[in-house]
Every structure is written in structure tokens, then in C-alpha cells.
Chains A and B, each alone.
Chain A
Amino acid sequence: MAKILVVDDAAFMRMMLRDILLNGGHEVVAEAANGLEAVEQYSICKPDLVTMDITMPVMEGIDAVKQIRQNDPNAKIIMCSAMGQQGMVVQSIQAGARDFVVKPFQAERVLEAIGKVLA
């Protein structure tokens, strides 16, 4: 079981992810609706893992990954975005994300990615 921070600007996606993660035996310790909130929540909750959207207002996801990794070089972050073109995946991985799940996703794909990153 991992403590997870869920980051997505859509309340609906946060709800769907929370359901998937709870059913997978994980705990959602906090949620954030943009990159800036994610950076703040990360330092408060110190989660084991973060799921990160890309297209968000205020601060987008790849910038948030860079900031979080600057504060904690060991941060484990998985991108969950509809913007899964190669350029975005490469930028995310270069910023420090460990994996990339394209929306719309299946529950198994999300849990599998988390399992691999935590292993």
C-alpha cells in the first residue's frame, strides 16, 4: 500500500483515480487541482508516489514535476494525461517522471504502473 498524491484539474478524474487507487489497496493522502498546489501538497504530505496530469491551469504538470524533483530528487511521479504524444512523454521523463499513462486509462494499467515504480 502506498500513500499517493493525485494531481488533476478535473474533479471527475480525481474521483476516478481515487476509486482505482483505493480498490488497488492504496491510500490517497491528498489531491491537487494544478501544478502549484501539487508542489505545496507534496512538501506537506510527503507521499510515496504522485499521479500527475499535464494540461492544467496555473502551473502545468511537467513544470510541477521539475519543481517537485528539485525539492526531492527521489520523488516518484507517474504522468496521467491525454497528451501522450512522444514529445510530451520524452519531456516528462526528462523532467523526472517514471512512467506515462495515457487517458482514457484502464484501472489495471494505472495500478500496474504504480506497482512497477514502487518495486
Chain B
Amino acid sequence: MTTQHIHPFLESASNILGMFQFSPRIGEAAEQAKPLDGKEVITVIGVTGHLRGQVYTGMSTADALRIVSGMMGGATVAEFDDMALSAISELANMICGNAAIQLSQGGVTLDISPPTIITGSGLGVAASRMKTVSVPIHMDGMDGLEICMALEV
């Protein structure tokens, strides 16, 4: 997993959040002991092909509601219900799908699984057998999104 593999996921997340009227800024990549520490909503997408592993996104419930609202053109979203869960899963699908488009232009072809979503309090990920890289996506007035990539070539 190199910068060349990581960057398309970050750029894709940033572009997509931008389309939903947010102003995302990509933060510094870090190898964290406990990625996605303290998150309340985590999406998981399996990746196969030239890269293998998982791509996670993590956020707070409050941010998830704001993002869903943005995805619905600004409609008020008060409750993290099944429709909101579906929207956040779709966000993860769009981020990985659009990253796969960018990667394919450099000859790296991927397939992705349908997303799984985990909710709770004080979540975290331990991918002990895989090197993980976590990158925060900052958004004004919000905790922001964390993208964690556990991928091997």
C-alpha cells in the first residue's frame, strides 16, 4: 500500500463530500495504534483485485446525520434510521467506487463488496495482520470523517 494507492480514496472522499456541499480538507496520514478510535458509525467495504483488504470510514452519529442531510440536498435528518444507514453505506460505496475509477486509470483494477455498517459507541478497528493507514477528512464545524485503509498489494 503506497501513497499512490491511498490518495485516490482521499481525493474521491473529498470530491464526493464537496458535491454534497461540504468543504472537506484532507488531513495528515498516520499509522495509528487504534484506527477509528471512538467513532460511532463505521462502514466497511471489502476490496479484491490488485489490492486486497478493507476500506473503512468512521464518523460520529451527529456528523453522519449532517452528511445524510447534505446527500438529500439539505433536508432535515433528525434520526439515524434505516434510510440514514443506507445513505451512509452508499457514501462509502461512492468513495470506494470512485477511487476504483481513478486507480484503474493507473492500471490498478479493483472490485468492491457491498458495504457493511457498524454502529455503537467508542468503536475502533484492530487490523492486527494488516498495516493500516488512517487519514482524517476535516470539515468545518464537524468532527470530520476518518478513512482507514487496510490494503495489501
- Measured CB to CB, the residues of A under 8 A from B are 9-13, 15-16, 55-57, 81-87, 102-104
Q: Are A87 and B104 in contact (CB under 8 A)?
A: yes
Q: Are A104 and B16 in contact (CB under 8 A)?
A: yes
Please, how many angstroms separate the alpha-carbon atoms of A13 and B111 in the complex? 20
Interface string of B5-27 (1 = CB under 8 A from A): 00000000000100110000000
Chain B residues with CB under 8 Å of A85's CB are 100-101, 103-105, 109
Asked whether any CB of chain A lies closer than 8 Å to the CB of B94, the reply is: yes
Chain A residues with CB under 8 Å of B94's CB are 82, 103-104
Please, how many angstroms separate the alpha-carbon atoms of A11 and B89 in the complex? 10
Q: Are A55 and B87 in contact (CB under 8 A)?
A: no
Please, how many angstroms separate the alpha-carbon atoms of A11 and B103 in the complex? 28
Q: Are A13 and B90 in contact (CB under 8 A)?
A: yes
Chain B residues with CB under 8 Å of A81's CB are 97
Can you report 13 A-B residue pairs in the complex whose CB atoms are below 8 A from each other? A11-B83, A12-B84, A16-B72, A55-B111, A55-B113, A57-B114, A81-B97, A83-B112, A84-B97, A85-B101, A102-B97, A103-B90, A104-B16
Find A102's partner among B82, B86, B101 (CB 8 Å cutoff).
B101
Contacts A87-B104, A104-B16 known; list 13 others, CB within 8 Å. A10-B93, A12-B90, A55-B93, A55-B111, A82-B97, A83-B100, A83-B111, A83-B112, A85-B101, A85-B103, A102-B98, A103-B90, A103-B97
